[in-house]
Chain A
């Protein structure tokens, strides 16, 4: 699960989290007491509909402002580790 979550946990963290998550998930099992056979799941509290707009650029590129926060850059590009061997 830690690999799926992309977290490099120490053995101590793994042990502590396993115990805590077991307890929390046990508590979550409480949800099974409710019959939800004919209940629709909900993902939003208010009715949301697709919002469409013309595909037109409205903002100016701000390369410097954006790259200022980058951990590594190469000229006007973000620099990242090699992805394909």
Chain B
């Protein structure tokens, strides 16, 4: 295997033993990006100069024998929704073209402090609104397993970069499945942590009660290591929770004997691609063979999740995105008065999907419709959370496919926004309830596209979710496959 195919923990061992230098590794990956990103389009910005400086600093530290940080000298990519000091951050939107943040977000700062090398910023659906990365204001990203297909979204650039060997690990954000779905589509591991586990400070807000930052990696061990670096309370985010952060690597025992797994029958209802259902059922059988106790459970109101989610997410988005008015940052349109300046700047800066959600959110929050839509959706959210919690009272985790299908084709869904929303049916209840959930590779369809298995846990119990994912990974070899690029 060449360096771009290795996992974070394998590379850490080589860096530590000085078999490999951080500078050599960073150079290899920058070259890899240059050679392959024309075909993939995972990156919006590559910061070679700064990255090489990070790598030289890491080598200096490694030379002193101080290699305790597992991320020291590890090249990472960041979704362009994360603020990076001195590196442009656009959220793949024209309205933030040229914006260079004056500070790092907390998750970014923690990665830097751990010694990670920043390669660049990855493409995404504009403001994280989408499931295919086709809503980027700049360019599309292609699936490394088959360029005719999308990588998923909204963290599609991060997922494609990890899958294509253009970085070792990446950060994404997940508001309704935006880490797990692209992880599933690209055959990698992705974790949405519990709401409040990772600080949202310095993460451009889409739907603040749902957004969460998480790792996207080649295997579960890497995922645990990146989570360890970014998790924990942050005074700068009043919704981050002050709860102890366990040693996640210690949870990777390979032992799942006696763990109770619930399999929700509604998640296997009509609409699943046959190969996805087969792969998920085989994966569940594999966990059972390893000693987990499997029972069928019910999430009776899951059918209402998409409607509740899109009311709430659009409402929060319309409020959050009010700040883009052409006054403090971003391009300002020429107009005769203040209101027209706002309206023209916003109309020129936002793409179709963002406008659609702002309009929808404005509508459901407006006088006369607030109770019928927004308040109603908030009540349904309570019911959906109760359903999840009832199952998790008897089970340690819920296991199901991550997505109903494998990666769809570029342009296949763009004409029908509602259809695109409905494809999020298996991931969004997790965000509404604030739970942690992992996607791990569990097979391929007949066309050779990856399939993901979703493992959902209790609040702040990422450890059990990772433990199950790791045990499954040990029993299979899906995570070792790499696309040919």
Nearest residue (CB) in B for A50 is B238
Tell me the A65-84 residues at the B interface (CB within 8 Å): 65-66, 68-72, 78, 80-83
Using known A-B contacts A2-B359, A6-B325, determine if residue A34 contacts B343 with beta carbons closer than 8 Å: no
Q: Which of B30-38, B144-152, B286-294, B360-368 lies at the interface with chain A?
A: B360-368
A27 to B209, CA, bound (A): 23
Residues from chain B with Cβ under 8 Å of A72 in the complex: 332
Most buried by A among B306, B308, B327: B327
Instruction: Check if A53 is an interface residue, CB within 8 A of chain B.
Output: yes
Instruction: Check if B200 is an interface residue, CB within 8 A of chain A.
Output: no
Nearest residue (CB) in B for A47 is B241
Q: Nearest-CB distance from B4 to chain A (Å)? A: 34
Choose one: A6, A20, A25, A53; the contact of B417 (CB below 8 Å): A20
**B239:A20 contact, CB within 8 angstroms:** no
Looking at chain B, what size class is its interface with the partner chain? 35 or more
Nearest residue (CB) in B for A3 is B343
A33 to B418, CA, bound (A): 19
Tell me the B330-374 residues at the A interface (CB within 8 Å): 330-332, 337-344, 346-347, 350, 352, 355-356, 358-360, 362-364, 366, 373
Instruction: Check if B307 is an interface residue, CB within 8 A of chain A.
Output: yes
A4 to B342, CA, bound (A): 11
**A46:B359 contact, CB within 8 angstroms:** no
Instruction: Check if B250 is an interface residue, CB within 8 A of chain A.
Output: no
A75 to B340, CA, bound (A): 25
A40 to B339, CA, bound (A): 38
A66 to B432, CA, bound (A): 35
A27 to B358, CA, bound (A): 17
A33 to B196, CA, bound (A): 32
**B376:A36 contact, CB within 8 angstroms:** yes
**A71:B343 contact, CB within 8 angstroms:** no
Residues from chain B with Cβ under 8 Å of A46 in the complex: 194-196, 239, 241, 434, 459
Choose one: A5, A44, A68; the contact of B359 (CB below 8 Å): A5
Q: Which of B131-139, B378-386, B444-452 lies at the interface with chain A?
A: B378-386
**B378:A45 contact, CB within 8 angstroms:** no
Most buried by B among A3, A31, A32, A46: A46
Residues from chain A with Cβ under 8 Å of B434 in the complex: 44-46
Instruction: Check if A39 is an interface residue, CB within 8 A of chain B.
Output: yes
Residues from chain A with Cβ under 8 Å of B194 in the complex: 46
Using known A-B contacts A6-B339, A46-B241, A81-B338, determine if residue A31 contacts B359 with beta carbons closer than 8 Å: no
Nearest residue (CB) in B for A45 is B434
Proximity bits, A1-32, B CB within 8 Å = 1, else 0: 11111111110010001001101110110111
A53 to B356, CA, bound (A): 38
Choose one: B303, B310, B332, B346; the contact of A24 (CB below 8 Å): B310
Closest 10 A-B residue pairs measured CB to CB? A45-B434, A41-B378, A65-B102, A8-B343, A71-B332, A36-B379, A69-B329, A8-B347, A51-B238, A5-B362
Residues on B facing A (Cβ under 8 Å):
98-100, 102, 194-196, 209-210, 235, 238-239, 241, 301, 303-304, 306-308, 310-311, 318, 322, 325-332, 337-344, 346-347, 350, 352, 355-356, 358-360, 362-364, 366, 373, 375-383, 385, 417-418, 421, 431-435, 459
Given contacts A7-B347, A44-B239, A80-B327, 16 further A-B contacts (CB under 8 A): A1-B363, A4-B366, A6-B339, A8-B340, A30-B303, A31-B304, A34-B380, A36-B380, A39-B382, A41-B378, A41-B382, A69-B99, A71-B330, A71-B331, A81-B337, A81-B341
